[in-house]
Structure formats: structure tokens, C-alpha cells
Amino acid sequence: MIDALGNPQSLLLVGGTSEIGLAIAQRLLRDRGGRLVLAGRDRAHMEDAARALSRDLPAVEVEVVHLDLTTTNTHDGVLSDVFSPGDVDVAVLAAGVLGDQRRAEVDPGDAVAVAQVNYVGTMSVALHVAMRMEGQGHGVIVVLSSVAGLRGRRSNYVYGSSKAGIDVFSQGLADRLHGSGVRLVTVRPGFVRTRMTAGLEPAPLAVGPYEVAEATASAVVGRADVVYVPPALRWVMIGLRALPGGLFRRLDL
């Protein structure tokens, strides 16, 4: 269970090498310790992350499990194994790929691959986790979305559309879970400085992983269903979504 200070005893991180996800896990487990399950495809890098976490947070017991978002028929078995030792208090769904917009425009398969990870696979895992948390009667699901999903842009509409899908799905799932003892928090960062965005020009209001982690931790213990990081992006996106299409295109975002 999550204690009164917002500290969980157990956490599942889907996207076990995600810099943002690892920062969230560290933030939520640093004061109490507990069980952390890193789930993802790259076992070697997850084991590196597990060793670093064990060194920095000795009270945290870290496990590594293989989970491929693109093979949805395996999700039930993997998540059954994750939940079988005991309750999972928080599940952070942080796996995602940026893709290459220009390549996707000439290779539709590349666009489909982005959607399979960011939307289809994440949706599948979220539903499996939600059913298990409903069974235990408590829990928080954190879904890493993006403000890129709030309005399509010429520069990243493949990635943005995948985030738009998971964002709308998360809103609906949050409503379905209302009153069950399980909450879903949708986190909408802007540009985050990570390995995934290395080499890209940082957008205005860019943040680092630990700023996302702090905002997420506050939401887990609070009541917010949707979190913007930084908070000013909420108002920026209201303005951008209200712009007429012709004017928005001239901004060349």
C-alpha cells in the first residue's frame, strides 16, 4: 500500500531503461525502499540500471523481467508473474519510441512500429495492470503521455498521433477506474532532455527527467488525474490548440 506520505512499497516500471521512468522510480522509492520490477526488452541495460539502483538505494529490491510491448499475447503471462508475489502499488508505463518522422513518411512500417509501442503495446499493458489492481483493490497507474499528442505538428505527427491515442485511452480508463480504489495519472511533459532527444534542439520550457519525476510523485500522493510538466505548458497548449489551422501551419513547429 501507498503510505500517507505517498511512498509505495512496490513499483512496476514498464520501460525499464527509460531515464524518465527510472527517475520516477527513484523518487517514489527513495524514502522507504521496497520492491521494484524493471520490465522491458533490453535485459543487459536493465541489469545495469538495477545495479545502479541497488547501489544508490540499498533498501530497494530490484527485479528484471523481459516484456516486449510489441508481443501483446505475452503480456498476460508476464504480468501474472509480476503480480503473483504480492500487490503492486504503482505501475509506471514509460516505454516509448520517438521514431524518425522523415523516415516514417517514406516507410509506413516505421510509423506502424512507433504506434505498436507507444499506443497498442502500452494500451495492452495498461488494461492488464488495471484488471490486476482492481482485483487487489488499490494502486496507481502512471501513463507517460506528451503534449505532442494534443495537436498534430508537421515535424512529429507520427509520434504525436501515437501519444494522442494513448492519452485519450488513459482518460477513458481513468474514468472507468473511478471508485475502484485504483487511480490513473496521465503525465504530459513537453520536451525532456534525455538520450531519446539527444541531438534535437530543445523546445521552450524544456525540462529534465527529475522534474518530471517530482511532478509525478506529487500527483501520485495527490488527486490530479492529468499533470503537465512544466505546469505552464497547460496554458501554452490551450493557446496552440485554439489557433486556426492556417496560422498554426505558418508557425512551422
Cα gap 79→55, rounded to integer Å: 26
Is 210 tagged catalytic?
no
Grid coordinates of 224 = 490530479
Residue 149 per-residue DSSP state: G
- Residues 140, 182 contacting (CB under 8 angstroms): yes
87: left (phi over 0), alpha (psi -120 to 50) or beta: beta
Q: In the β-sheet with 90-93, what is the strand arrangement from edge to edge?
A: 60-66, 34-40, 10-14, 90-93, 139-144, 182-189, 226-229
CB atoms within 10 A of CB 237: 16
Among the listed residues 191, 193, 196, the one whose alpha carbon sits nearest the alpha carbon of residue 253: 191
Cα gap 109→227, rounded to integer Å: 32
- Residues 87, 138 contacting (CB under 8 angstroms): yes
- C-alpha dihedral (65, 73, 70, 131), degrees to nearest 10: -70
Catalytic residue among 119, 157, 159, 210: 159
- Write the burial class of residue 193 (CB in 10 Å: 0-12 exposed, 13-18 middle, 19+ buried): middle
Cα gap 133→155, rounded to integer Å: 38
CA angle 101, 189, 163 (to 5 degrees): 45
* Residues classed as catalytic: 159
